[in-house]
Structure 1
């Protein structure tokens, strides 16, 4: 058993919105909570150990899904107006298998991206390439209106808001083209495409106030924008996306992490398998909420462990520069190192402890000189190459969780993050 230390009592911090007019792809996270509560026993950052890869359990999930999937005849089937197509099952996914008795779980790390726009900064393509280099899969949460031209904005009827309105900017025509290219290539490389819904409304009249039916309307419109981009854009020189969105989208993250209760009720009717909209939790093994896997952002040690903050770039931004997106440049190197240190502290306490998955959520943004992107680059290079680590998508993790024995998952959930047990007592 690794030693555990008591977390200091610390301060609570709430996030404020970045003080800037949103550009295409910029996310205003007006109501995002930084859940900075603390817990005793979660800060042991010990070193040493190794593992072998594996996967998940006796129930419904990846294996059932595979058995029901019809054998592909090798032909591309163009769907609808030609915006999407079926080109066969996705290749390269993690093979989900149950843990063997006494086997240590893999250390799963999920890098996820809210918005998923290929802007002039080309960050979408950058992280695709980085994923390939480090044998990782990522989850890219697409915002539906990023495939809707501004000239067609009235096709969007957001819940509780006027037709054609949005809390974020509509994309340029060129960015629609480049985003379509990245979505197709990302899926071919084994990455997951999920949803970040559409207009990014937060606070009053945002997702937290929406009914189940209003969430369903938002989801239906997301599918419509993706499945009809050829009609809406008039582009005839671009190939269909190589996958069927109705089959491939199995989860998402709500803007500002708001409205999960009604969202979960709505999502079940679409056959989704997980949700990543929880406002934050300790680094413990996930459980299901209303029938879907609950994959929250997580509380990581900030500022050397003085307090806990969410595993997302905006929360570092708030705590370091009080929400200013271009803060004091002199402090950029310090803030970048602090961000890397927090991510690595969170990683180390589970890698050398309970092996609970680590969830990291970010945006394609250049806040504070791009230090949060640079931090993620360092973390990917540091962790995805370690023995026993699997950098996977949320969908792959859901597959793995689905095939584990329920009693094994219960014992895993009983572990503190920094607790390294005798695995023979946990995985039987």
Structure 2
């Protein structure tokens, strides 16, 4: 979680396309045919399994000369735990109703009972420490079930790591690459050994091999990316979504990994822009207060929704840069941010050529494109239209 105010942006290297690769899976969702369950091969203690290719992953299409790019939008969720508010299941249904795929960044300790917290050895922090709470056993059970269903519906399961340390000497901002490797190994371990750690022997395994499924994440508070990226590259991760304050332009690679930042978008009623995340709306509206005067809620809800829609429309009408939105399953300020993002998603889905995808699916699409075409896309600035129109610009 990071607050963005006037003019904040992250300086990064320009578009890099020399190492773009081809791929065989998904730019947007595709219906799965048949009802037969795939053969399942259990992995390890049976917490995870290999059930074959993930459903609803269509083959990406390479742009034809002069073709207007689709408008990609990625809705992603930090933490991704299921509590009594039922927000995980709520947004699974919303996604299904609007043919959307999303990315759920799972916090590893959400698969670990608090009674076993001594198993977590966070870098630069005491054993078992965490700046986010451990879930109750019932909520651990519900989270594992939601993750299983989400993957079967075509959504991506990434990582939000574990303890969410944002302040003090133990902050992830101060972690070394070795620290990040330890954190990742532990996060994967908690997800792949939940049956051993919870004793929930009556539950079905997760239908994927998490070590293969995991190709990207978002760091706590968008901190520590520089020391994370060498580890991400070593592990074969394909993207990272931890940069703050990115511009609404086509993405580039950073240290050999696709860099998908949260973006600066117009903030209605203000001269500055806001980061495309619910927490940053909250920070600017209520100065970080999660329970404010309810009289403000209707106006704030509309302002948050309109910020998302303004960012979307700016890209849609001009450079067609992908839009990246980050959120949390939280009922801050009466749940207005959940309502705002739901309404924004619905309105975006009604537009022609819109693809509501996961980061994995968007990465697949990028890597299926001609590197020269990606280079041309990267050359269009925020709010700029292609010189001479799309047909001329992408045909030359």
Normalising by structure 1, we get a TM-score of 0.85
What is the correspondence of 1:260-409 to structure 2 with a 5 Å cutoff?
Answer: 260-304=225-269, 306-409=271-374
Aligned residues, how many?
375
CA positional deviation for 1:61:
4.1
Structure 2 gaps, min length 5: 10-16, 27-36
Deviations 1:336-381 (A, max 9, x none): 1111111111000110110000110000001111000000110111
User: Which residue of 87, 102, 105 corresponds with 2:51?
Assistant: 87
Q: Note if 1:426 corresponds to 2:387.
A: no
Q: Partners of 1:167 and 1:109 in 2: how far apart?
A: 30
What is the correspondence of 1:156-195 to structure 2 with a 5 Å cutoff?
Answer: 156-195=120-159
**Structure 2 contact 103–155 (Cα < 8 Å) conserved:** yes
CA positional deviation for 1:303:
2.9
Q: Partners of 1:330 and 1:280 in 2: how far apart?
A: 30
Query: CA RMSD of the aligned region, Å?
Result: 1.8
Deviations 1:222-278 (A, max 9, x none): 010000000000111001101110111110000000000010011112111000000
CA separation of 1:310/1:381 partners in 2, compared to 1, >3 Å: closer, same or farther?
same
Q: Secondary structure at the match of 1:113?
A: strand
Q: Note if 1:225 corresponds to 2:190.
A: yes
Q: Secondary structure at the match of 1:141?
A: strand
Q: Which residue of 2 aligns with 1:152?
A: 116
**Structure 1 contact 79–85 (Cα < 8 Å) conserved:** yes
Q: Which residue of 1 aligns with 2:217?
A: 252
**Structure 2 contact 129–163 (Cα < 8 Å) conserved:** yes
User: Which residue of 16, 19, 24 corresponds with 1:63?
Assistant: 24
CA positional deviation for 1:388:
0.3
Q: Partners of 1:394 and 1:328 in 2: how far apart?
A: 36
Q: Which residue of 1 aligns with 2:88?
A: 124
Structure 1 gaps, min length 5: 1-28, 40-55, 66-72
Q: Partners of 1:57 and 1:340 in 2: how far apart?
A: 37
Q: Partners of 1:94 and 1:296 in 2: how far apart?
A: 24
Q: Which residue of 2 aligns with 1:237?
A: 202
**Structure 1 contact 355–417 (Cα < 8 Å) conserved:** no
**Structure 1 contact 354–419 (Cα < 8 Å) conserved:** yes
Q: Which runs of 4+ in 1 moved over 3 A?
A: 56-59
Deviations 1:381-424 (A, max 9, x none): 10023110000000000001111112211111111232222112
**Structure 1 contact 253–275 (Cα < 8 Å) conserved:** yes
CA positional deviation for 1:58:
9.4
